Amino acid sequence: MRLLTRSRPSGLRDRVVWQAASLLLAYPDDQHNERLDTVESLLAHLDGEPADLLRRTVTALRGTDPLRAATDYVETFDMRRRSTMYLTYWTAGDTRNRGMEILAFATAYREAGVAPPAKEGPDYLPVVLEFAATVDPEAGRKLLNAHRVPIDVLLGALREAGSPYAHVIAAVCATLPPVTDQELQRARRLAEAGPPAEAVGLQPFTLTVPPRRTEGE
């Protein structure tokens, strides 16, 4: 594959970004270094701001002790509600509404010819990114665009925490249309109010992104 420059179709560049981001946002388990190797091979075919942002995260994770990386991941995404990667957690105010929104993700996967994930919520951002990268880029892009506000809230929370994962989310945002003033205001309101208090226990299709570890595993 030749270097992806601005003269190449943006859709292909975006798919590379989405796949790299999906891998970087996975829990740092035993395949962590292998995923970083894969991301670096993807970055060899990408240029511009998204590549620079993704590379910053790779560098940070390479320089972090594996146990520390796993602990940081849990503290970042599991212990802070504002950093959740379940997109419908920000947009649905009660369990029934959230269930309907999650169903929309599952329906998009089925219409693209793949089964929804078995061990993770279909609205889990790394899964959505991998779907967009490897299964149906147009359907995936629509899901990402429709949930741009939750993605922006996540970006703000990660930046506030000084997390290296903020660069990954910023790279994803660079593949999406610019946010409007209305979206910015909504993101601020969500960030101040926080996501809904109740959680829906759903369990990820993962192609190369592993399910998140649960306690006792």
Identify the CATH number of the domain in which residue 107 sits. 1.10.3480
pLDDT, averaged across the chain: 83
> Based on the structure, what is the number of domains in the chain?
1
* In the chain, % of residues over pLDDT 70: 76
Considering only 14-23, 31-40, 84-93, which range has the smallest mean pLDDT? 84-93
Residue 204 confidence (pLDDT): 39
Establish if 198 belongs to a structural domain: no
Establish if 208 belongs to a structural domain: no
Residue 195 confidence (pLDDT): 54
Domain that holds residue 128: 10-191
Q: Above 90 in pLDDT, residue 92?
A: no
- Residue 8's pLDDT band, with cuts at 50, 70 and 90, is very low
Residue 196 confidence (pLDDT): 54
- Residues 61-86 have a mean pLDDT of 92
Establish if 124 belongs to a structural domain: yes
Establish if 202 belongs to a structural domain: no
Q: Above 70 in pLDDT, residue 209?
A: no
CA–CA dist 112, 136 (Å, integer)? 6
Question: Which amino acid type is present at position 180?
Answer: T
Residue 187 confidence (pLDDT): 59
Q: Above 50 in pLDDT, residue 161?
A: yes
- Residues 29-55 have a mean pLDDT of 95
Establish if 210 belongs to a structural domain: no
- Residues 146-154 have a mean pLDDT of 89
Establish if 199 belongs to a structural domain: no
Establish if 196 belongs to a structural domain: no
Task: Give the pTM.
Answer: 0.81
- Residue 98's pLDDT band, with cuts at 50, 70 and 90, is confident
